[in-house]
Amino acid sequence: MMLNESNQELDFDKLLNSLPIFHELIPYAVTAVVVDSNILLGDLRRMLLTGKLTTLFKLAEAKRVVIFFPAESIHEIEDHFSKMARESRTTVNEVREKWNHTYARLIRLVPDLKPRVTAPLENDLRDPKDIPFLRLVSFMSHEWFLTQDKDLLALGMGNENYVDLSLDLRGYHAGQSIMYTFSACETVITLTGLVAISAFYDAIRALYHLIKNLPNMVRLLGVVIIIATFMLPKSREFIKGICLTALPMRIKEVRDGLVPILLPIFDYLETGKTLKLEGMEKLQKYHRSNPTTDPRTAKDYIFAVLSKSAVPLSVDQIAQRVKNEGYVTTNQGFAKYVPRILRSESTFSQVDAHKWILGVVCGVLE
């Protein structure tokens, strides 16, 4: 334990700050996401249909992300109203009404950009509408910007956190970017997960500082209430989900595996569904009934496959890699879940193997 030398009490701040996961992840939890219009338009239809814009709004209102795009170009979304109506099985008027409400809220969240210094490359831009975006990017030394514009993308070469979306959206950029090159929509959901970790950490610290100055009996009662709250099924599942997927990881896993793990978990949490841990319980029962098998946990299954792969794998490749790690499984055991997951994830054009194994092992997908 880490004790404060003056009063021999537990130094909670120093203890938590000594954990690498918090030291390394917190800077990424409060991150600006600057979305160029040609990226936003590509994902906005799906975000609008699936309700993911709610997440984006919450993050923006909490000052966790910054949204920016040339406002005039966003009206291009109207060209897709008919297709959106067919996809959502509603009328064009309903889609238009929903979009008008969404657009009004989106505009209110866009910051008024007034940079103190004029960006030196403004005169070289071919499109004057890109100037505000360039100004913002030029002042973002440690934040994200998402663009497919080759001219603007070149500016990101000096920014270690840029995401090269000119590559395959499902591929992995082996340069200096630290996240998978997912789409803007999925990146926002991933940041939701990191923000949740940050909020969880902040809540623990706040509770500690609140309790430590109270009388002993009140402090004891508070601890009992907190423990009882954590024992509630939904709270317990949420906390277990956080601990299972995020807390044991280090910066290498942030680079290589954290995004595809957190993405589906917080996607489901955001839509109001708590983590279903029946998958873990079934796994434990299997180990109890098969004592000769390796009794490691579902977390180890995920690590065994994902920590050694920076690219999506097929079901057969996953099964083989799991076998190579000493686990007893069969190709059929994974393959039988694939059609069900594909059906449940019909809004995605592709479901990669990272999501398959997470859904199967953790019981997130049914």
Statement to judge: residues 271 and 326 lie in one domain: yes
Domain containing 310 equals: 214-362
> In this structure, is residue 251 part of a structural domain?
yes
Is 208 part of a structural domain of the chain?
no
Tell me if the pTM is above 0.75.
no
CATH code for the domain in which residue 167 is found: 3.40.50
Shared domain for 122 and 242, answered yes or no, is: no
Domain edge (last residue) among 133, 164, 182: 182
Q: Is residue 86 scored above 60 in pLDDT?
A: yes
Do 354 and 219 belong to one domain?
Answer: yes
Statement to judge: residues 112 and 256 lie in one domain: no
Per-residue confidence (pLDDT) for residue 269, from 0 to 100: 38
Per-residue CA distances from 137 to 57, 64, 67, 158, 191 (Å)? 21, 17, 12, 11, 19
Token pair of 170 as six digits:
């499902």
pLDDT for 21 equals: 33
The tally of domains found in the chain comes to 2
d(CA 59, CA 52): 11
- Do 145 and 243 lie in a common domain? no
Asked if residue 156 lies in contact with residue 162, where contact means CB atoms within 8 angstroms, the answer is yes
Q: What is the mean pLDDT of residues 341-355?
A: 37
Instruction: Examine the pLDDT at 92 and tell me if it is beyond 80.
Output: yes
Whether residue 209 lies inside any domain: the answer is no
Q: What is the rounded average pLDDT for all residues in the chain?
A: 47
Residues 122 and 230 in one domain: no
| Predicted pLDDT of residue 251 | 34
In which residue are the tokens 């500082």 written?
Answer: 209
More confident residue, 321 or 22: 321
The answer to whether position 87 is within a domain reads yes
7 inside domain: no
* pLDDT score recorded for residue 231: 58
The last residue of a domain, from among 182, 202, 231 = 182
- How confident is the model over 187-205, as a mean pLDDT? 45
- Range from 94-98, 113-117, 123-127, 293-297 that averages highest in pLDDT: 94-98
Which of 138, 161, 182 is the last residue in one of the domains?
A: 182
User: Does residue 241 share a domain with residue 170?
Assistant: no
The residues, any chain, with a CB within 8 Å of residue 334's CB and separated by 6 or more, are 315, 318, 319, 356, 357, 360
pLDDT at 211: 62
Q: In this structure, is residue 336 part of a structural domain?
A: yes
Least confident stretch, 21-30, 150-159, 307-316: 21-30
Q: Give the tens place of pLDDT for each residue, 198-257.
A: 445 445 555 566 666 667 766 677 667 666 665 555 555 555 444 443 333 333 333 334
pLDDT at 48: 72
**Alpha carbon separation from 330 to 207, 318, 339 (Å, rounded):** 46, 10, 16
pLDDT of residue 97: 84
Give the model's pLDDT for residue 160. 40
In one-letter notation, the amino acid at residue 28 is: Y
Whose tokens are 């990669």? That residue is 352
Q: Which residues does 185 contact at the CB level (< 8 Å), separation at least 6?
A: 43, 46, 47, 52
Return the minimum-mean-pLDDT range out of 115-129, 167-181, 288-302, 332-346.
167-181
241 with 172, same domain: the answer is no
Q: How confident is the model at residue 144 (pLDDT cuts 50, 70, 90)?
A: very low
Of 298-302, 333-337, 348-352, the poorest mean pLDDT is in: 348-352
Most confident of 69-78, 82-91, 208-217, 320-329: 82-91
- Nearest-Å Rg of the Cα atoms of the chain is 23
Residues 174 and 38 in one domain: yes
- Is residue 20 in a domain? no
Q: Select, from the ranges 161-170, 219-228, 286-295, 312-321, the one with the highest average predicted confidence (pLDDT).
A: 219-228
pLDDT given at position 99: 79
Does residue 165 sit in the same domain as residue 274? Answer: no
Q: Is the pLDDT of residue 126 over 80?
A: no
pLDDT tens track for 162-172: 443 333 222 22
Regarding whether 229 and 129 lie in a shared domain, the answer is no
Are 288 and 346 contained in the same domain? yes
Residue 258 placed within a domain: yes
**Biggest distance spanned by C-alpha atoms of the chain:** 71
